[in-house]
């Protein structure tokens, strides 16, 4: 598999808003011995986002070799209202304007061919619950990254379909533990990544 151009780059320092917590330092989120699994999803109410946020919430206890943060194209105040004071067990970065999506080249598609059997099942269920997408609406394809200290991108992958991302935190655990072993992070957890 060809390496993504983002791998090896450094994410510039930025602040982000989370539901109920504005102005957070992204580098503070990265300042940990465990890599940060960063997942770019559509808006918070989108069926794909709801499905994967739910899966990650249910399986977060399995993720021991990394930490998780999800990025959504939503207003933090609106999400805070929807959560009603509840907290997700991982960081949620709100990027309603899509600045991060544009910076990292998150791709979109309007092609039905980008859908998989899994995404069709998710949309079918959402439509039964009242979801109505706009006709011809562009869909965001997922971007997943593993980020080390000081914002260094250790691994990046632009999904080729709407559900081309780790299916739950057990899958993220496999990716993170493999990466930590490959980089020797298990032996030297305090050493910064070069």
**Per-residue confidence (pLDDT) for residue 193, from 0 to 100:** 36
**Residuewise pLDDT in 10s, the chain (194 residues):** 456 889 899 999 999 999 999 999 999 999 998 999 999 999 999 999 999 999 999 999 999 999 999 999 999 999 999 999 889 999 999 999 999 999 999 999 886 545 678 888 998 898 888 888 777 778 899 999 999 988 999 999 999 999 999 999 999 999 998 887 776 654 333 333 33
List pLDDT tens digits, range 1-43: 456 889 899 999 999 999 999 999 999 999 998 999 999 999 9
CATH for the stretch 15-182: 3.40.30.10
> CA–CA separation, 81 vs 78, rounded Å?
5
Q: Determine how β-strand 36-40 pairs with β-strand 21-25.
A: unpaired
Check if the beta carbon of residue 74 is closer than 8 Å to that of residue 43.
Answer: yes
CA angle 175, 19, 25 (to 5 degrees): 65
pLDDT at 114: 56
Cα–Cα distances in Å, from 150 out to 28, 144, 169?
9, 18, 23
What pLDDT shows up at residue 140?
Answer: 92
pLDDT for residue 115? 64
Taking a C-beta distance cutoff of 8 angstroms, is the pair 149, 192 a contact?
Answer: yes
Which contacts qualify for 47-51: CB closer than 8 Å, 24 or more apart?
A: 47/122, 47/123, 47/125, 47/126, 47/131, 48/119, 48/122, 48/139, 48/142, 48/162, 48/163, 50/126, 51/122
- DSSP 8-state assignment for residue 152: B
Q: Among the residues of the chain, which ranges form H helices?
A: 26-30, 47-59, 76-83, 99-103, 117-128, 169-182
Alpha-carbon distance of 49 to 177, in angstroms, equals: 25
Instruction: List the domain boundaries for the chain.
Output: 15-182
Task: Say what the pLDDT of residue 98 is.
Answer: 95
Nearest to 48 by CA among 66, 70, 63: 70
Question: What's the angle, vertex CA 53, arms to CA 89 and CA 60, rounded to 5?
Answer: 40
So what's the pLDDT on residue 147?
95
CA distances from 165 to 129, 131, 157, 176, 187 (A): 24, 22, 8, 14, 28
Supply the pLDDT for residue 187: 35
pTM > 0.75: yes
């Amino acid at each position: 598999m060809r390496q993504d151009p983002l791998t090896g780059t450094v994410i510039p320092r930025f602040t982000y808003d989370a539901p109920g917590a504005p102005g957070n330092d992204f580098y503070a989120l990265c300042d940990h011995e465990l890599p940060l699994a960063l997942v770019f999803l559509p808006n918070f109410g989108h069926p794909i986002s709801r499905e994967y946020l739910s899966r990650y919430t249910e399986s977060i206890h399995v993720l021991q070799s990394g930490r998780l943060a999800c990025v959504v194209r939503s207003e933090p105040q609106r999400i805070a209202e929807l959560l009603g004071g509840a907290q997700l067990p991982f960081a949620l970065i709100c990027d309603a304007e899509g600045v991060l999506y544009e910076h990292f080249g998150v791709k979109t598609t309007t092609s039905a061919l980008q859908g998989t059997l899994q995404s069709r099942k998710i949309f079918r269920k959402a439509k039964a619950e009242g979801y109505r997408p706009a006709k011809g609406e562009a869909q965001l394809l997922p971007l997943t990254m593993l980020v080390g200290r000081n914002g260094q991108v250790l691994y990046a992958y632009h999904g080729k379909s709407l559900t081309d991302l780790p299916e739950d935190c057990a899958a993220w655990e496999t990716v993170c533990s493999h990466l930590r072993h490959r980089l020797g992070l298990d032996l030297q957890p305090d050493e910064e990544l070069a």
